[in-house]
Structure 1
């Protein structure tokens, strides 16, 4: 590569530089800035090519159509920035699918079908029920025995998808989705934030909670509606959107914020707002 640059490079020849050589010139800098090539190069190119594909109408002159569309997109971008027309010329907001569920307490997400209503014929997994009860006991600061009095497993709704609003990602519950497909990315892994007591090892020191970032696989998306109860300090029915996540035991991470794991830990139920 060094000999190629020394012996061949010339400003007059730059326009005829083969694309393969041009790409090779950027690989080292790209890896240094953003990590392995497969982690960032293929995905942007797939997205960009996906935007171009619908506009290739001519089989005889496909590249002319591609060139024209690329120029039009660039001109539109300049017009939006110059005249502050992002809202008018930007892509329209897509409506949520029929049957989607939103709640005023959760302004950042919406649940998408399919969904399953638990019943005697289709009961809630007992292990998941215990995890939910533990989560509710922590939330309402009550003993597990009191939570059990007001928790009915048949009132739990299970959803397959959760959509982050305002252009966010769509995450899937692994328990209700087929994960055996090889032609799509695994959207069941999520990142969430918990408050951890950094003084937990020291019993004589007061607790001090700090946010900790955790990674795991989203197993279940649950809607739980605790009834009005003086012991829970609820004057009306409450609505909670909970996520059951199997934690990934992170073994290593680097400066590029890439995390590695080999083993998975237990399942914990957290509020959906933390994801």
Structure 2
């Protein structure tokens, strides 16, 4: 009950300096009692002494310095956590990114202390500038609004072999049926660009295709080529007598590589100006149907390969090999793209002249 009494005191709307000074000794007594009962001053029991336990020792000083914890935590700490967690994109070496980001935040804070205009901009300004693209990335104008960013490695003059040309012709014939499959097969250029990685801007995933996975690198043990994508299928494909009814569907598969195919202007094909298509070459997880965010889906092997537009790729998915249901083993799909995938510390913006919603 000592901890309960401490928390109740900290959650009070008002407090006195004398009460906080008394609370300091109550917290010290609680921590010492905790160590005596659970830690028992033994090395093999050190794991029970969590960092949060010893953080309590600083609470009294923080309250005297910053005010009640329900004020300091809700605003200062959560906003700072948002800044830190947003930059930690790498799951392999996140600490280098965090260290660099904390350093940059400190540098900006130092500049703001010297220049009042910068401080004012940080407090009240809003950055509408687009996210910068690094030297290892490229954005085609046709896909800028779709947040598709291509990343190296790339092959600028990639030769399209006949089997791959057939896949491309099948894709263009299906999506742009003005010309026949044979006509598209002859129209497709001999060479295009091949890219190994893809980034979905505005907080999306960074995807490494199968050709870009290097087992010898630091990231080699992580394969982020398995993806979730959307496509359209005929709802009545198993009923030859029914009319065609195309519906949206979800699929999973391995991203082999990406192609940037530039088609020249041609009136016969309905191309008014030279246009670049970013296409994904995907090998599907065979016989997988359904949404992996609602249920666990399983597959045993990969199936056919096909071409889709890069905008069909939604996010990276995981796969775990298990023998829980089959002796030979199978892959379970882990899709965390649902509504509960992220913690967001953002606060809704309000017009300072609008007093609605501020009655309390």
Gaps of at least 5 residues in structure 2 are 6-28, 40-45, 51-88, 107-121, 314-360
Other-structure match for 2:264: 227
Q: 1:200 to 1:44 in 2, by over 3 A?
A: same
Whole-Å Cα distance in 2 between the matches of residues 213 and 151 of structure 1? 28
Pairwise CA distance, 1:216 = 0.8
Whole-Å Cα distance in 1 between the matches of residues 125 and 199 of structure 2? 23
Q: How many residues align?
A: 220
Match of 1:153 among 190, 206, 212: 190
Match of 2:153 among 96, 100, 114: 114
Other-structure match for 2:235: 198
Q: Which has the larger radius of gyration?
A: 2
Maintained 8 Å contact 1:118/1:124: no
Whole-Å Cα distance in 2 between the matches of residues 144 and 232 of structure 1? 12
Whole-Å Cα distance in 1 between the matches of residues 274 and 171 of structure 2? 17
3-state SS in 2 of match to 1:205: coil
Other-structure match for 1:266: 304
Q: 1:192 to 1:14 in 2, by over 3 A?
A: farther
**Equivalent runs, 1:108-187 vs 2, <5 Å:** 108-118=147-157, 123-141=159-177, 142-154=179-191, 156-179=192-215, 181=217, 183=219, 184-187=221-224
Q: Structure 1, residues 170-195: CA drift from partner, whole Å, max 9, x if none?
A: 11221244246575421111110001
3-state SS in 2 of match to 1:216: strand
Report the TM-score when normalising by structure 1.
Answer: 0.64
Whole-Å Cα distance in 1 between the matches of residues 247 and 49 of structure 2? 47
Other-structure match for 1:30: none
Maintained 8 Å contact 1:251/1:262: no
Match of 1:242 among 244, 256, 279: 279
Gaps of at least 5 residues in structure 1 are 1-8, 24-42, 57-68, 70-82
Whole-Å Cα distance in 2 between the matches of residues 177 and 45 of structure 1? 16
Pairwise CA distance, 1:21 = 6.4
Q: 1:212 to 1:179 in 2, by over 3 A?
A: farther
Whole-Å Cα distance in 1 between the matches of residues 94 and 311 of structure 2? 31
Whole-Å Cα distance in 1 between the matches of residues 273 and 246 of structure 2? 30
Whole-Å Cα distance in 2 between the matches of residues 52 and 210 of structure 1? 43
Whole-Å Cα distance in 1 between the matches of residues 101 and 173 of structure 2? 55
Whole-Å Cα distance in 1 between the matches of residues 276 and 197 of structure 2? 18
Whole-Å Cα distance in 2 between the matches of residues 244 and 263 of structure 1? 17
Q: 1:145 to 1:173 in 2, by over 3 A?
A: same
**Equivalent runs, 1:94-109 vs 2, <5 Å:** 95-98=132-135, 100-106=137-143, 107=145, 108-109=147-148
Q: 1:49 to 1:172 in 2, by over 3 A?
A: closer
Aligned-pair Cα RMSD in Å: 4.0
Maintained 8 Å contact 2:250/2:291: no
Q: Answer 1 or 2: higher relative contact order, Cα 8 Å, separation at least 6.
A: 1
Report the TM-score when normalising by structure 2.
Answer: 0.50
Whole-Å Cα distance in 2 between the matches of residues 152 and 48 of structure 1? 41
Q: Higher mean Cα deviation, 219-228 or 123-132?
A: 123-132
Pairwise CA distance, 1:136 = 1.2
Whole-Å Cα distance in 2 between the matches of residues 235 and 242 of structure 1? 20
Q: Higher mean Cα deviation, 123-132 or 240-249?
A: 123-132
